[in-house]
Structure 1
Amino acid sequence: MRWKVAILTASDKGSRGEREDTSAQVIRELVEEELGGQIVDYRIVPDEQDEIIAAIIEMTEYYQADLILTTGGTGLAPRDVTPEATLKVVDRLVPGIAEAMRIGALQKTRRAMLSRGVCGIRGQSLIINLPGSPKGVHESLMAIMDQLPHALEIISGSHGDHE
């Protein structure tokens, strides 16, 4: 199955065109090469809860993305509000994915413990908050990539009974 994937970058500087969005490029490459997914939407919004919420809702309802990968806004700075925005739109949490990403990244850098990213389900879309750095994105996504197809099959209802 070819998964529909949306990428959402939360970055004040990126939304103003002051910073190249290299993290989204890493996501795009990994989605296409490792997951075989198709990017159906990509956008950059400022670190504002309302804008992040609106983008996630549109990605789930209009684009019907199977997977939404956010990057940025998961740290400790006052403007880092991606987890809070995500929590306001998900129906159910999937804490194991966020835990696995942090565990995988912790093997590379102790700073991974400072990531506040969350994961959850809205309708039939899986939403995963990734860190803002290209390195953090790569380490986090690779820590969970092997389980994403199975998770997406279950959420979409295309997977049968438990094996």
Structure 2
Amino acid sequence: MEWKVGVLTISDKGSRGEREDQSGVVLQELVQGINGQITAYEIIPDEQPLIEQKMIELSDQRHCELILTTGGTGFAARDVTPEATKAVIDKEAPGLAERMRAATLVHTKFAILSRATSGIRGNTLIINLPGSPKGVRECFESIQDVLPHALQILRGNTEHEGGVTK
């Protein structure tokens, strides 16, 4: 089964062409492991209204089933990705962010400083990931095994057989 995936890199420098987007490229490679098809990819600045607008567009108009963001999840004043995500989701999905923090804590003590969040808007799952390629890889790999199941549920396939969605 293939999933429509949107990737948003949130980076002031990246959006101005002052920094190469390595994290977004890593995400595009990683989603292939869950049969993800990248249908949207953008690099945008750390501006909350713009982040919200892009998430809504990818979910509501472009019908992405999964939106992955990279960047803007730390303590800096312009890190507003979690706030933008919370503003557009209908329901939170805290277990995904909790799992990512727990899994990456074995690699770095700074994992506890991540403010990444995740949630559901309509039939779209939105997940915030850190802004570094290493962090993106570690976080994504910690949750990738449950993403197909989560996406199947959002497609309406809620029948379970032996604890797994059919």
TM-score (norm 1): 0.97
Structure 2 residue 27 is the aligned partner of structure 1 residue 27: yes
Is 1:9 matched up with 2:34? no
Give the structure 1 partner of residue 46 of structure 2: 47
Deviation at 1:80, TM superposition (A): 0.2
Matches within 5 A, 1:11-160: 11-32=11-32, 34-160=33-159
Q: Which runs of 5+ in 2 are unaligned?
A: none
Q: Helix, strand or coil for the counterpart of 1:132?
A: coil
State percent identity of aligned pairs.
57
1:46-65 Cα offsets, whole Å, 9 max, x none, are: 00000100000000011100
* Backbone CA RMSD of aligned residues: 0.9
CA distance in 2, matches of 1:44, 1:160: 37
Instruction: Please state whether the residue corresponding to 2:9 is helix, strand or coil.
Output: strand
Shift of 1:158: 2.3
SS for the counterpart of 1:146 is: coil
One-letter amino acid of the structure 1 residue matched with residue 92 of structure 2: L
- Distance (whole Å) between structure 2 residues aligned to residue 161 and residue 147 of structure 1: 14
Q: Secondary structure at the match of 1:6?
A: strand
Number of equivalenced pairs? 162
TM value normalised by structure 2: 0.95
Q: Hey, what's the Cα distance between the residues in 2 that align with 1:133 and 1:115? A: 12
C-alpha deviation, 1:156, in angstroms: 1.3
1-structure distance, mates of 2:157, 2:93: 19
Return the offset for 1:155: 1.3
1:151 deviates by 0.6
SS in 1 for 2:146: helix
CA distance in 2, matches of 1:115, 1:160: 34
Distance 1:39 1:95 in 2: 24
Q: Residue 100 of structure 1: SS of its match in structure 2?
A: helix
CA distance in 2, matches of 1:135, 1:25: 12
- Give, in angstroms, the shift of residue 138 of structure 1: 0.3
